[in-house]
Amino acid sequence: MNNDFASIAEFARTTAAGHFNIISLASIDSTNRYAKLLLSKKKISSSAVILADEQTQGKGRLNRYWASPPGVGLWMSIVVEPDLPATQWFLLTFMSAVAVAEAIERQTGLEAQLKWPNDVLIRRKKTCGILLESASVEQKSFLIIGIGVNVNQSEFPDELRDKATSLAIETGKEISRLELFTEILLRFDQLYSSLDSSIMRIWKKKAAFFQQRVTVTELNREFDAMALDVNDDGGLIVDVQGVHRTIYAGDVQIQWRQI
Ligand code: BT5
C-alpha cells in the first residue's frame, strides 16, 4: 500500500464521508464481486463503498476485463438500494458517469466527455468505466455500481495504449486520489438524492459522439451507423442507412472525424 492509499484508508476509518460506510482494501479480485459477497452475508447494506488499491480480476461488461494495477487508480463499488422501479435502474449508470465526469472536471480542470453507455473520456480516450450489477438479498434489491477511474498511470499496456488514458497523463501531474474519491462520493450523493430521468439531459450535454459515425456491436452483429440521440430508456438511437434503430444492450466504437 503506498502513502496515497494509506491516506484514503485513514479517511475511511476516521471520517463520516456523508453517510457512506467505506471499506478500503489493499488488494481484492474485484470490488463488485466482493460487494456482492458481503451483501449476501449481510455484512454490508446500502451506502457501503468498497475501495481497493488494486484489483487482481477487475471486471468490465460482457465478461471483459478491467486493468486495475496498484497505486494508480480508484477501483470502487458503491452499493445502493434504489428507490426506483427496475426499468429505471439504468439511470444509475448514466448518473454515475455524470458524477465522475463532474468530479474529474473540478479536480483537474480537464473537460470530460461521456460515451454511451458507460464511459468517461478525456480527449477521446477512456479514463473511467462503469459496471452496474444487481443483487437481491431477502426480497431486497441492491445495485452495485462499479467505478474504475484511471488516475495516476503514466502508461498503459500495448493493447490499451490507443484507447485508454489517465488523469496524470492528461494533466501532466499527479492527482490526489483522496480528493478525487471524496469529490466523486459528494457528487454521487447530490445527484442520487434527486435522481430521475432528467439526469439524461445532463448526461447528453456532455455526450461526445452524437452526429459521429459509430460501429455498433449488438450481440454477435456489427454494423456502421450514425449516432443520433439517447432516449429516455437509455437506448441509443442510431441511423442505419436512413432507418432509425434503438440499441439497448450493445457497444459502440466511435469512428472519430479528424479535428
Ligand atoms: C467497463 O467495461 O468499462 C466497466 C469497468 C468497470 C470497472 C470497475 S473497477 C471497480 C469495479 N469492480 C470491478 O471488477 N469492475 C468495476 P467495458 O465497457 O466492458 O470496458 C472494458 C474494456 O475496456 C476492456 O475490454 C479493455 O479493452 C478496456 N480496458 C480495460 N481496462 C481498462 C482501463 N483501466 N482503462 C481503460 N480501458 C480499459
Å from CA of 60 to ligand 1 middle: 4
Pocket of ligand 1 contains residue 58 by CB under 6 Å: yes
End-to-end CA distance of the chain: 41
Per the CB < 8 A criterion, the answer to whether 24 and 5 are in contact is yes
Ligand 1 pocket member 61 (CB < 6 A): yes
Each residue's pLDDT, cut to its tens digit, for the chain (259 residues) gives 456 888 887 877 676 566 889 999 999 999 999 999 999 999 999 999 999 999 999 999 988 999 999 999 999 999 999 999 999 999 999 999 999 999 999 999 999 999 999 999 999 999 999 999 999 999 999 999 999 999 999 999 999 999 999 999 999 999 999 999 999 999 999 999 999 999 999 999 999 889 999 999 887 788 999 999 999 899 999 999 999 999 987 788 887 765 4
**3-state secondary structure (DSSP) of residue 88:** helix
Residue nearest to atom 9 of ligand 1 (CA): 148
Bridge-based pairing state of the strands 236-240 and 243-247: antiparallel
142: β partners: 135
Helix (H/G/I), strand (E/B), else coil: 182 = helix
- Beta bridge partner(s), residue 23: 50
User: What cell numbers appear for 46 in the block?
Assistant: 446500502
| Spatial separation of the C-alpha atoms in residues 92 and 79, rounded to whole Å | 11
Residue type for 140, please?
K
Which residues fall within 8 angstroms of residue 13, CB to CB, at 6 or more apart? none
Q: Residue 211: CB partners within 8 Å, gap ≥ 6?
A: 226, 227, 228
Distance from the alpha carbon of residue 157 to the mean position of ligand 1, in angstroms: 14
Q: What contacts 256, CB < 8 A, 6 or more positions away?
A: 124, 212
Residue 42 in grid coordinates: 449481510
Residue nearest to atom 37 of ligand 1 (CA): 164
| DSSP strand pairing (21-25 vs 48-52) | parallel
Extract the C-alpha cell encoding 101. 465526469
Beta carbon of 130 within 6 Å of any ligand 1 atom: yes
Contact between residue 78 and residue 49 where contact means Cβ atoms under 8 Å apart: yes
CB of 156 closer than 6 A to ligand 1?
Answer: no
Q: Which residues contact 111 (CB under 8 A, 6 or more apart)?
A: 105, 122
Distance in Å, CA 144 to ligand 1 centroid: 15
Contact 172, 1 (CB under 8 A): no
